[in-house]
Each structure stands twice: as C-alpha cells, then as structure tokens.
Structure 1
Amino acid sequence: MPGVLAGRAVIVTGAGRGLGEAYARLAAAEGASVVVNDVDGAAASAVADSIGALADDSDIATWAGAGRLVDACRRAHGRVDGLVNNAGLFRLADPGEQDPEEFRRVLEVNLLGTAYCGLHAIRAMLAQGGGSVVNVTSGAQSGTAALAAYGASKGGVASLTWCWAADLAGTGVRVNAVSPNAHTRMADAFERHLGSRARGQNVGKSPSSNAPAVVHLLSDAAAGITGQIVRIDGDELSLVPPPRPTRPVRIPEWTVAAVAGAFAGELGVTR
C-alpha cells in the first residue's frame, strides 16, 4: 500500500539531526521524494544517503540560499509539494547578558529563514496549483525564561503561519505549523541552564513521536486544514489559537486612576 506522501516532493530544512531528521525519515517512509537540507553538509548527506534522498547544504537564512534550496527540489523532482520549515538556532541567555549579534542570528535563521524558504516555495506551489507548507513554532512563543530571542523568532513564525494562510485561502496552497516537544539536545541544554525552573516544561518523547503530525499536514488527508498551529506534548495533541483580546472593560473617562481601577477590578491583574 503506497504511503500518504507517495509521488510528492518534500523539502525539510534543518534535517541533519533531531526533529528535522525525524520529519525527513517519516516523509520518505511514506513515499515522498525528500530534499534533506542542513548547513552541516555532512549531516545532511548522512541522513539523505540513509533514506535515498537528495542532500542540500544551502544557508536558508539568506534569500539566495533559500532560493537555491527550492530550485534544487524543482530541478530534481519537477515540483515542490511540501516544505517543512524546521531549521532553527537555539540560544539561551538572560536579558542582562544577551549578546546582540547572537540575538540577530537567531532571528535571521529562525524567522527570516522560514520566511525566505516559504516565499520561494509558495511561489512554486502557486504556479503548480497547490502545496503544503508546515512551519515549526515553539511553546517558547508564549514566554519562557532565557529564551527571548528564540521565543520572539517563533512568535514571528506563528504570525507568518496565520497571515500566509489568510493570504492563500482558496489557492490550493495550505500553511500550517507544528509546535513540537521532544527530548533533544535543545531540551537538554534548556534544562541544564534553568535547573529547577525548567521542571515540567519538557514532557516530549522522542523526535520521531512528533513526525506523524507533520506528515499528516503535508498529506491530502489534511486538504481542508490551513492556518492551524498544532501542539504536540508527549501523548497530547492540541491546537494553539491566535491571540485574542480578553473581554473588554469600558473606561468612561481615560485617566490613570480609571485604568488602575480596571486592572484591579474586572481585568483582575493587581501585580
């Protein structure tokens, strides 16, 4: 019986190890022709060789590099049916010690890299009449200690997902995201840095346990799904809705005292 991605050409960025490798492996097992991208060319080649895929070492944090990656898929397979925007940098820092260049690089790879690959792939998908983009966000977008750069980048990825889905409604191109949780080198580094403050925040299992949700979103079985962020937490699957305002409080006269009263009263925020 053919896999759910039989005949599809799928790009997975940051697929030399960890979660990206798990996504690439399951996509290939489900019949996709996979392009394994990683700036670590040796890691990309090792994974690609083991699953009969094409390796690519383009730097997706640049417009030209993202374009080369998408072009490589089109040259090899004639089309781009799926893109998994997994590549990312993870840096831990408290605000008083944050290196500005490191902050910038995290945003370049995680946010701009996702945007650049997405824009190139979406143009190819529109030309061929359809496709599926799966971005990778994180629970850190909701606020996690020592992860300001990473969380900000992933919050931007969530916004890209919702905006692109609105832009592309009715075109045949779908855009969703996953918010994975797994025991990876990233999770281990996070727990070492935060110690007891990290307790209970990483409940993920292996990277491979996150891959089925990604493959489903790439497949025809998810043809009606777009604009969703899918959270995976151990054995739990949920959806992350866009931010919405709380129930508003009417302020009859805009004074500092009136705002303070609203916070202490109906908004319920005293400190």
Structure 2
Amino acid sequence: MGALDGKAVVVTGAGRGLGAAYARLAAAEGAAVLVNDVDADLALTVAAQITASGGQADVAVGTISTWDGAGAVVERCVEVFGAIDGLVNNAGIFRLAHPSQQDPDEFRAVIEVNLLGTAYCGLHAIRAMLAQGGGSVVNVTSGAHAGSAAMGAYGASKGGVASLTYCWAADLTGTGVRVNAVSPNAHTRMADTFEAYLGAAAKGQNVSKPPEQNAPAVIYLLSDAAAAVHGQVVRIDGDELSMIAHPVVQGTGAQDAEWTVEKVEAAFAAGAVGPISPVGLHRA
C-alpha cells in the first residue's frame, strides 16, 4: 500500500530538481501524477521515468504564471485521471540582485511565476477539490521570506506564498480541502547560482543533500495520514524536519491612550514593545 494510492496529483515545475523528486516519489507511493513544466523535453523525461518504474503519469507543458495556463494544467489532470486530489505548487524561478541594481522586469517575472503562478494553480485546484469533496494543496515557500541578501524579489514572492497558505487555510477549514506549505533546502541549480553570486557570504546557507531528501514530507502532506495538518509551514533543512511558526505578536506590548512620537521613542528605548528580531530565519 502506498501513501497516495488512488490519488491524482499535479506537480508544477516537475521537470528537474525538487519538482522531479516530488513527482517521482508521489508516483512510487501510488499516485497518478500530472507532470508540469515549461520545458517539454524535461517533463516528458520525468513522466517516462515514472512509467518505466511501473507508475502512472501524464504531461502538461506550459507556464502556470497566467490564469488560463494554470487552469489548463488542473483541467488536464481532471481530464486524464478523473480528479485532482493533490497539488504541489513547486514551479518557480530565482533571480538575485541588490536593490540598487534590481531589474524591474526580472522582479515582475519572479512575482508572476512564484506568487501568481502558485495562486492561480491553487485557485483552480481548490475549486475542483471543493466540488469533489476534498484534496490537499502543498505550496512551496522559502526561508528567504524572513530576509536574505540579494533576494528581495524571491523572498517577497515566497512571503506571499506563506501568506496565501495561512489565508486559504482559514478559508477552507472544515471543507475537506487542506492547504500547507513546505520550505525545502537541497543542492540544486538554485543553490549553485546563490553560491556563485554571494561567494563566501553564502557559506552554510545551502545544504549538500539531494532534492529527494525533501520529497517524503511533501508526500506526507498530500496523504490522508496528514488529515489533521492544515495551515502549516514544514521546513526541511538537511537532516532536520521542523515547523516554521506563524507570525506572532511578541509579549504584551506597551499601552498608552494617546501615543506621541516621543512616547513611541521612549517605549522602544525601554524595550516595552518587545525585542528587536534579527533579520533572517532564526530559531526561537
């Protein structure tokens, strides 16, 4: 018995790297997998690997950064497999730039693929899942949304994905449709680019583990075994599996019926408003 027996799952950006690892393990755990990628050769190769191993796969080539493109991917899954029980919103692009040198077209492209693509695929999938009575969406965010050098566009897109996860979870509580996210880490082309751009400053921020190390958590979240997990961000970092906390209000705060600039300054100076958090993902 596989964890995903009888389920139909879409994995976007599944032509290589993390997406390919998610797609292959989903199929190995019994799912019929719709492999999406903008590169037809890559998508077909992953689908062929799945079928050669005795699994079931089909392909949807195209971008998910448009409403119609995302809809076509979800519709293809329903057309071929009769349902969509799981969606892994993995497709994404990565650009690095200091704010003083950020190209606006590159910034827009990152937001369109990473955030809008996730939103569009999720919206189409959620509507189909509600109609059939259940399903699981797994978004892909990143620790970069907590702050990372040269990642303004990427971090903003992934912060939006985390917020989507929280908001959709609030919307869908009790419907049978679950929404969670993962924050993966693996040695991929993205890691190579990051290290080449930042040099020594990137030391320790990427792991040497392959994409496959991240796949079991994703398949778990897609499975019925995770029926009680909703609105969470799961972090995979090398050998460690952990949870990223939702944004929280720290302490009790300072109280005043009529704030002034001077009073705000005094509250900060006294530490009454709470601690100043360090930039970047850190352990509580």
Please tell me the TM-score bracket, short chain as reference.
Answer: over 0.9
Please tell me whether residue 186 in structure 1 is matched to residue 190 in structure 2: yes
How many Å apart are 1:54 and its aligned residue?
0.7
1:171 partner SS? coil
Q: Alignment partner for residue 119 of structure 1, among 115, 123, 126?
A: 123
Please tell me whether residue 23 in structure 1 is matched to residue 22 in structure 2: yes
Q: Measure, in 2, the Cα distance between the counterparts of 1:28 and 1:147.
A: 33
Task: Show the counterpart of 2:54.
Answer: none
Task: Show the counterpart of 1:263.
Answer: 268
Q: What is the letter of the counterpart of residue 205 of structure 2? A: Q
Task: Show the counterpart of 1:237.
Answer: 241
Please identify, of 24-33 and 253-262, the stretch whose mean Cα deviation from structure 2 is larger: 253-262
Equivalent residues of 2:66, 2:117 under 8 A apart = yes
Task: Show the counterpart of 1:254.
Answer: 259
Please tell me whether residue 107 in structure 1 is matched to residue 106 in structure 2: no
Q: Measure, in 2, the Cα distance between the counterparts of 1:104 and 1:254.
A: 38
Please tell me whether residue 95 in structure 1 is matched to residue 94 in structure 2: no
How many Å apart are 1:252 and its aligned residue?
5.5
Q: Measure, in 2, the Cα distance between the counterparts of 1:156 and 1:54.
A: 29
In structure 1, runs of 5+ residues without a counterpart are none
Q: Measure, in 2, the Cα distance between the counterparts of 1:200 and 1:251.
A: 44
Equivalent residues of 2:139, 2:179 under 8 A apart = yes
Q: What is the letter of the counterpart of residue 119 of structure 2? A: A
Task: Show the counterpart of 1:47.
Answer: 46
Please identify, of 4-13 and 195-204, the stretch whose mean Cα deviation from structure 2 is larger: 195-204
Task: Show the counterpart of 2:222.
Answer: 218
How many Å apart are 1:268 and its aligned residue?
4.8
2:106 partner SS? helix
Equivalences for residues 165-176 of structure 1 within 5 A: 165-176=169-180
Task: Show the counterpart of 1:38.
Answer: 37
How many Å apart are 1:205 and its aligned residue?
1.1
1:176 partner SS? strand
Task: Show the counterpart of 1:195.
Answer: 199
Q: Measure, in 1, the Cα distance between the counterparts of 2:167 and 2:190.
A: 28
**What TM-score does the superposition give when structure 1 sets the normalisation length?**
0.96
2:186 partner SS? coil
How many Å apart are 1:253 and its aligned residue?
4.3
Q: Measure, in 2, the Cα distance between the counterparts of 1:171 and 1:258.
A: 46
1:144 partner SS? coil
Equivalent residues of 2:39, 2:62 under 8 A apart = no
2:64 partner SS? coil
Q: What is the letter of the counterpart of residue 196 of structure 1? A: A
Q: What is the letter of the counterpart of residue 47 of structure 2? A: A
How many Å apart are 1:251 and its aligned residue?
3.6
Q: What is the letter of the counterpart of residue 171 of structure 2? A: D
**What TM-score does the superposition give when structure 2 sets the normalisation length?**
0.92
- RMSD value over aligned CA atoms? 1.5
Please tell me whether residue 63 in structure 1 is matched to residue 67 in structure 2: yes
Decide whether aligned partners of structure 1 residues 219 and 236 sit closer, same or farther in structure 2, where only a CA change above 3 A counts: same
Equivalent residues of 1:251, 1:259 under 8 A apart = no
How many Å apart are 1:257 and its aligned residue?
2.1
Decide whether aligned partners of structure 1 residues 73 and 195 sit closer, same or farther in structure 2, where only a CA change above 3 A counts: same
Q: Measure, in 1, the Cα distance between the counterparts of 2:6 and 2:190.
A: 33
Percent identity, aligned pairs only, is 68
Q: What is the letter of the counterpart of residue 43 of structure 1? A: L
Q: Deviations over 1:118-138 (max 9, x none)?
A: 000001100100000000000
Q: What is the letter of the counterpart of residue 4 of structure 2? A: L
How many Å apart are 1:213 and its aligned residue?
0.1
Task: Show the counterpart of 2:5.
Answer: 6
Q: Deviations over 1:102-143 (max 9, x none)?
A: 100100000000000000000110010000000000000100
